Amino acid sequence: MKIESITLREVQMRLKAPFETSFGVSHHRRIILVEVVADGVSGWGEVTASETPGYNSETTDTAWHVISDFVAPALIGKTLSASSDCPALLATIRGHEMAKSGVENALWDAEAQIRGVSLSKLLGGTLNEIASGVSLGIRESPLALVRRVEEELRSGYQRIKLKIKPGKDIEYVAAVRKEFPDILLSVDANSAYRLEDAAHLRQLDQFKLLMMEQPLNWDDIYAHSKLQAQIQTSICLDECINNARHALTAVELKACRIINVKVGRVGGFSEALRIHDLCQAHNIPVWCGGMLETGIGRAQNIALSTLENFRLPGDVSASKRYWKEDIIDPEVEVSPQGMIAISDQPGTGYRVKEDLIESLTVRKETLRA
Ligand code: OSB
Ligand code: MG
């Protein structure tokens, strides 16, 4: 595959409803879409960086800079035998996983189309449908949260994840658990607690949660190993895991029993597959996280979720939960049983709506040899 050009577009999209996490509230998204042309075929990728460095250290603007000045120049004009050659060409760029992932994943989409196979198959996926869960932002009251959970369960979602932070935790989880004693329920703190809060977090053990996601510092695997030894609830790491070496460290230190794989956070599909395989070998289930993606990133999350060790429902839910109109056709839909069907068409199986993207674009840059 010869890489001919890379086009960056920043699209601005308003979320249907604000999304509140322990690090802030998101109303609008500023998202970079990447279009890579290889052998005359367009592949699309999405940069999952947030607008602010509150989740990890990247932002929409740092990603634009890094792709434009470093990632694209390292790739344009090169001939690759497969997309999995990409990380070696980007090895001199430290960090900036989300920037690299947006480009590498666009190449995987192009490769799947060139080879005439589905992205799921190209990645080694085997499932023909995947289980869908939802992530619910922090609400103004436990009652408002319970109502929201009820709606999502009625739509069929198989697992409910509640965002928590100090002051909006035990009471909220207790209210939901009381109303729904048997559902798969988990919480995500996005690094809002400290190891000294272990006794407080232990109160969550009574609610039989599937997992507690990233309670402690975003870059501290060791502290999570100390916490896991003090609570019954399984810890799931999100922010801490940027590559397979981090995953191995976490598994060996017993810092978690589950890992959330976000393809952007780990630098692209090649590294996501490595983490998947490593976790499978250690009997650690993984699931696919979300970053409030457009349909382009969502379709790629769906393809990744078809690998065997994605054993738990992911944060990969229907387009209509996020957007008035998504930028792919068809939109991502979830069945009343909470499942998403996998297409066997070449590529992701979702067509990119270029006209709509053009109308949402606020800046654009094409890099070529
Ligand atoms: O921690 O999983 C997270 C959204 C933005 C940043 C971090 C996270 C999230 C979510 C939303 O939980 C998942 C989704 O619905 O896309
Ligand atoms: Mg998380």
| Per-residue pLDDT at 63 | 98
Residue 189 CA to chain centroid, in angstroms?
Answer: 16
* CA 341 to ligand 2 centroid distance, Å: 24
Q: What are phi and psi of 12, to 5 degrees?
A: -115, 125
Taking CA 56 as the corner, what is the angle to CA 55 and CA 62, rounded to the nearest 5 degrees?
115
* CA 81 to ligand 2 centroid distance, Å: 34
Helix axis angle, 295-304 to 97-115, nearest 10°: 70
**How far apart are alpha carbons 139 and 163 in whole angstroms?**
9
Number of the ligand closest to the Cα of 137: 1
**How far apart are alpha carbons 111 and 89 in whole angstroms?**
17
| Per-residue pLDDT at 121 | 98
If one counts every other C-beta atom within 10 angstroms of the C-beta of residue 142, the result is 18
Name the catalytic one among 163, 165, 168, 353: 163
Catalytic residue status for 161: no
Full pLDDT tens readout for the chain, 369 residues: 999 999 999 999 999 999 999 999 999 999 999 999 999 999 999 999 999 999 999 999 999 999 999 999 999 999 999 999 999 999 999 999 999 999 999 999 999 999 999 999 999 999 999 999 999 999 999 999 999 999 999 999 999 999 999 999 999 999 999 999 999 999 999 999 999 999 999 999 999 999 999 999 999 999 999 999 999 999 999 999 999 999 999 999 999 999 999 999 999 999 999 999 999 999 999 999 999 999 999 999 999 999 999 999 999 999 999 999 999 999 999 999 999 999 999 999 999 999 999 999 999 999 998
* 8 Å CB contact between 242 and 268: no
| Per-residue pLDDT at 148 | 98
pTM of the model: 0.97
351-352 and 328-329 as β-strands: parallel, antiparallel, unpaired?
antiparallel
**How far apart are alpha carbons 62 and 4 in whole angstroms?**
24
Residue nearest to atom 5 of ligand 1 (CA): 291
DSSP string covering 180-220: -TTSEEEEE-TT---GGGHHHHHGGGGG--SEEE--S-TT-
The beta strand positions in 267-324, using DSSP E, are 286-288
* Terminal alpha carbon distance of the chain: 15
Residue nearest to atom 7 of ligand 1 (CA): 291
| Per-residue pLDDT at 146 | 98
| Per-residue pLDDT at 367 | 97
Distance set, CA 94 to CA 61, 85, 88, 98 (Å): 17, 17, 12, 11
| Per-residue pLDDT at 273 | 98
Catalytic residue status for 364: no
| Per-residue pLDDT at 30 | 98
